Amino acid sequence: MSTLRCLRVFAAALGWLPLLAAAALAQPTKVSIGKVIGGDGFHLPSYVALDRGFFKAEGLDVGLVELDPKTQVTAVLSGNLACAPIPSGGAQAALSGAKIAYIVGQSLKSQWTIVTRTGIGKPQDLTGKTFGYGQPGSSDSDEIQAVLHRFFQMDAGRDYKVIAFQGQPERIAALANDNIQAAGLTVPHAAVAEQAGLKVLLSTGDYIPRAGGTIWCSADFVQKNPATVRKLVRAIARAVMSFRDDKQGSIAVLRHHIGSIRSDEEAGLIWDRVHNTFGAEVPPDLFREIFESRRLTMIAARQWPADKPLPDPEQFLARDLLDPTLKEMGYVPTRIAAPTKAN
């Protein structure tokens, strides 16, 4: 090949570079986020963002990967998952030395309920009974045990037995069959259980404040991808506002992602109960509570010295990305009533 021809080929190749670069820029950014098996009421904004196209509108190709909470935590820490909506597990990882960063909120009210068969009138009636909830370190394990311990002086292992389940639909089936006598269910699954003749004994949101489903990633991912983090924040924030105001549009999302829901009517009743309980913002007091609750659990397990104070949780939150992004997009914060019960 002559020198002149080589130069022409090279020049033609150079001419394609801008087009190739533009095509690369147009490709959506892939992000994997954990999803609890069977769906979870705390994580509804991420489901809305996916189904209603808010992730896509931000140029993100988000995949929700169904894994149990413990596996999600391990997957993010090992680099096999970008982010996880498991705040308690993230807090324990952070307090144990993992480099992580929370990026956006989802639920601003504890949504766990204790659901029982008829005949159970008060929490103390569960003494000696078998309870079904998630793996140790999951939010239901953390929040339900905290309420029973702080308000009713009942502890797992001593006062009641525990069987761990991956998904909430399986807990409803076990409860209906009397294989267990109580189950930890988020509000959407609890509403379905009530339709099956089961009973909501108490709601943890009446006793403790909690920022549930707060999404976190490795600190390395956040530092290297600030633009992607801002896009995730915007998508979740838009999903929060959409779910808050659009009942009909949210019913399909509920039916798609919450495994227990069987009808539009059930989905509508659930929306009525929870649509004002979500927020992309992460209030400092609720964020600190995630870490303090986990610190107390670690003390009980002899994984944290009792006299060692809690470090400032704000070091684990990308607030410099979260708050400005919410302000720039005109996000409307959520008003949440304080818990009604007290010690």
For range 251-264, the mean pLDDT: 90
- What pLDDT does residue 137 have? 65
Q: Which of 206, 223, 245 is the last residue of a domain?
A: 206
For range 85-103, the mean pLDDT: 96
As a whole number, the mean pLDDT across the chain is 88
Are 155 and 293 in a shared domain? no
Instruction: Give me 141's structure tokens.
Output: 């394990």
- What pLDDT does residue 26 have? 61
At 237, is the pLDDT very low, low, confident or very high (cuts 50, 70, 90)? very high
Are 169 and 35 in a shared domain? no
CA atoms within 13 A on the CB side of 92: 21
At 39, is the pLDDT very low, low, confident or very high (cuts 50, 70, 90)? confident
User: Largest Cα–Cα distance of the chain, in whole Å?
Assistant: 92
For range 123-142, the mean pLDDT: 86
For residues 172 and 190, what is the distance between their CA atoms, to the nearest angstrom? 9
At 15, is the pLDDT very low, low, confident or very high (cuts 50, 70, 90)? low
At 2, is the pLDDT very low, low, confident or very high (cuts 50, 70, 90)? low
Are 237 and 199 in a shared domain? no
Q: By residue range, what is the domain housing residue 116?
A: 112-206
For residues 254 and 298, what is the distance between their CA atoms, to the nearest angstrom? 34
Residue 337, domain member (yes or no): no
Q: How many residues does the chain have?
A: 343
Residue 23, domain member (yes or no): no
Contact criterion met (CB below 8 Å) for 117 and 199: yes
Residue 181, domain member (yes or no): yes
Tokens 């140029």 correspond to what residue? 59
Return the beta strands (E) in 112-263 as ranges: 112-116, 130-133, 161-164, 182-186, 199-203, 215-218
* pLDDT greater at residue 199 or residue 9: 199
Least confident residue range of 193-207, 227-241, 308-322: 193-207
Are 105 and 242 in a shared domain? yes
- Residue 309: left if φ>0, alpha if ψ -120 to 50, beta else—which one? beta
Instruction: Give me 60's structure tokens.
Output: 């993100």
- What pLDDT does residue 9 have? 41
* pLDDT greater at residue 139 or residue 288: 288
Q: Which of 206, 229, 261 is the last residue of a domain?
A: 206
pLDDT of residue 195 exceeding 90:
no
For range 135-142, the mean pLDDT: 75
> In terms of C-beta density within 10 A (0-12 exposed, 13-18 middle, 19 or more buried), how is residue 214 classed?
buried
For the whole model, what pTM was predicted?
0.82
- What pLDDT does residue 127 have? 95
Are 185 and 242 in a shared domain? no
Comparing C-alpha atoms, which of 105, 118, 225, 261 is closest to residue 178?
118
Task: Indicate which CATH number applies to the domain containing 293.
Answer: 3.40.190.10
Are 103 and 218 in a shared domain? yes
Are 130 and 54 in a shared domain? no
Are 217 and 102 in a shared domain? yes
pLDDT of residue 74 exceeding 50:
yes
Contact criterion met (CB below 8 Å) for 165 and 131: no
Comparing C-alpha atoms, which of 28, 122, 135 is closest to residue 86?
135
For residues 273 and 285, what is the distance between their CA atoms, to the nearest angstrom? 24
Q: Which of 175, 190, 206 is the last residue of a domain?
A: 206
For residues 212 and 203, what is the distance between their CA atoms, to the nearest angstrom? 14
Are 184 and 236 in a shared domain? no
pLDDT of residue 333 exceeding 80:
yes
Residue 93, domain member (yes or no): yes
Residue 132, domain member (yes or no): yes
For residues 222 and 232, what is the distance between their CA atoms, to the nearest angstrom? 11
Residue 341, domain member (yes or no): no
For residues 295 and 289, what is the distance between their CA atoms, to the nearest angstrom? 10
Are 226 and 198 in a shared domain? no
Task: Return all residues near 238 (Cβ < 8 A) that are at least 6 apart.
Answer: 49, 54, 57, 329
- What pLDDT does residue 166 have? 76
Q: How many domains, in total, are found in the chain?
A: 2
Residue 336, domain member (yes or no): no
Residue 193, domain member (yes or no): yes
Q: Over the stretch 46-58, which tens digit does the pLDDT of each residue have?
A: 999 999 999 999 9
- What pLDDT does residue 18 have? 53
Are 62 and 187 in a shared domain? no
At 7, is the pLDDT very low, low, confident or very high (cuts 50, 70, 90)? very low
Q: Over the stretch 145-174, which tens digit does the pLDDT of each residue have?
A: 889 988 999 998 999 999 988 788 899 999
Are 158 and 299 in a shared domain? no
> In terms of C-beta density within 10 A (0-12 exposed, 13-18 middle, 19 or more buried), how is residue 132 classed?
buried
pLDDT of residue 10 exceeding 70:
no
- At 175 the three-state DSSP class reads helix
